[in-house]
Chains A and B, each alone.
Chain A
Amino acid sequence: MTMNLANELRDLVNAEARNERQCRKYLEHARNLLVDVTSHAFLRQVAEYRGHTGDSDYLISCRVTDGVGGQKVKAYIWEVKAPQCYIFKADTQNRVLPSDDFISAENQLLHYYDEARGSQQFRNEFEVQSPDDVMLGGIIIGSNRTKVSQLKRSHYDEPKLQQLFQHALDLRIKHLYKEKNIKVYHWDRIVDYLTSAVPLKPGTVPDVPIESPLPANTQISSA
C-alpha cells in the first residue's frame, strides 16, 4: 500500500465521468478487505468473469487453513459499480430507497453467486472443492458525495442526508446482508483503506496527574 495508490484512486473517485473499470484495478491492493479470513496465498483476482447470467465484476480466490490442519480454496464474488453512481435516492422526507444502480448490483451479485455455486466449471477453474466455499463478497458502489440522489421536493440538509443514508444502509445490513456476510463499501472507504500511515506527530500534553475511571464493560478474553 502506498500513498500514490490512494491518491490516484481518490482522483478517480472525484472525477465526473464514470470510471468503474479504472477504479476496479485498485482492488488488488485491498485484497484482505475483500475476503473474510487471512489467507497465505491469493490465487486469482479476475475482473469480468463470464457467466450464463452475465459477467461477475470481480472475483478473488485464496487458499486458507480449514481449522483442522488442512487447506481449502475459497472464492469471493464482488459486484462493482462506479464511484459516480448514487447509492440511495430520495423517497420521502424521512426515508431513502436504494438507487437503480444499487438494486442492479445486488441483483447481479445474487445471480452470479448462485450460478457460481452450482457450476462445476467455475469450481474447477477456481480450484474450489465445495459450493459452500463460493462466498458472497459484496458490493462496492458510489462515494461520499453520491450517498443519496436528491429531489427538489425533498431536499435534505447534510446531517439529514447522512442520517437517512446510514439508517437505510443499516437496515439492509441488519435484515438482509449480515447473515450472508454481504459487505457494502463505497469507494472513499477503499481510498481510506489504501492510504498508508500518515506520519503523525504527537502534540504536547500537560504533565498533570489525571483521574482515570474504569472503562465500561471490561472483559478479558483469550485465544
Chain B
Amino acid sequence: MVIQAGMNFIPDPAAIKDVFERRLLKVDAEIKSRFPAILGERSLRWITFGDDTMIGAIFVSPADFDRVQSYQQKNWHPFPGLVTTDPNQPAAFRLDKSRFIYIQSCDVAGFSFSLGRDCTLLLVDHTQEITTTEAGKLKYTLPLAYFVTFGDEITPSNIYEQLDALVAHSVEKWTTIEPTK
C-alpha cells in the first residue's frame, strides 16, 4: 500500500526517542510505577521500523532481545506474524481509520494485525504464535508496542505528532483511575 508515490519515508529514531523520553522515560518514579513494567527496565531497548505505509516502535524485554538479534542476523523478521499493511493478508484484527486502539493481554495464533490507513494502535502484553517458513512454529510476547499508519490524515508532516498523541493516550489510561460504578 503506497500512500504517496515517491514518498520514500524513513522513520527518524531520534524523533521517536524524543517522544518516548518526554512521555515515558523522564518521568516521576511514582508515575512510572503505573506504567507497564518493561518501562522500568534498566537496559530498556526498542526496535523501530517503517516505510511509506507505517511506523512501528516495539519495546523488547531483555529475555526476548537475544531472539530478536538472532533473527536479524539471519535476515528474518524480528516479529513475524505481528502486523501487516497488506489488506490481502488474513489477520485476526483488521483496522482501518481507527485511532487510539488499545489492545491488552491478547494471545493470537496466526497473523495478528492487518492495518489500513490512518490507524494508531497500542499493544500491551501481546502474545503472538505463528508458523513461518523461515523459523517454523514460534511464540513471543511483546510488553509494549506502538504503530501508526499513513493515510489521508496521517502524513509525514504529522506522523510524530500522531505517535505523541498515541503515547499520551496510553499514559492517560495508565494514570487515570476509572470511577467505580
Residues of A in contact with B (beta carbons under 8 Å apart)? 1-2, 29-33, 36-40, 65, 67, 159, 162-163, 166, 170, 173-174, 178, 183, 189, 192-193, 195, 197-198, 200, 202-223
Evaluate whether A219 and B49 lie within 8 angstroms (CB atoms) in the complex, with A32-B171, A197-B103 already known.
yes
Evaluate whether A203 and B92 lie within 8 angstroms (CB atoms) in the complex, with A32-B172, A217-B49 already known.
yes
Candidate in A38, A200, A215, A223 with the most chain B CB atoms within 10 angstroms? A38
Q: Mark B3-30, 1 if CB is under 8 A from A, else 0.
A: 0000000110100110011111111101
* Interface contact B17-A218, CB-CB below 8 Å: no
* Interface contacts beyond A40-B30, A212-B133: sample of 7 additional A-B pairs, CB < 8 Å, sorted by A: A36-B164, A65-B27, A183-B161, A195-B100, A217-B50, A218-B47, A220-B46
* Interface contact B99-A189, CB-CB below 8 Å: yes
Q: Mark B94-137, 1 if CB is under 8 A from A, else 0.
A: 10000111111010111110000000000000000011111010
Q: Mark B153-181, 1 if CB is under 8 A from A, else 0.
A: 10101100100110011011101101100
Within 8 A of A (CB), among B66-118: 72, 75-81, 90-94, 99-104, 106, 108-112
Evaluate whether A216 and B49 lie within 8 angstroms (CB atoms) in the complex, with A210-B111, A210-B130 already known.
yes
* Interface contact A67-B26, CB-CB below 8 Å: yes
Contacting residues, chain B, for A67 (C-beta < 8 A): 26
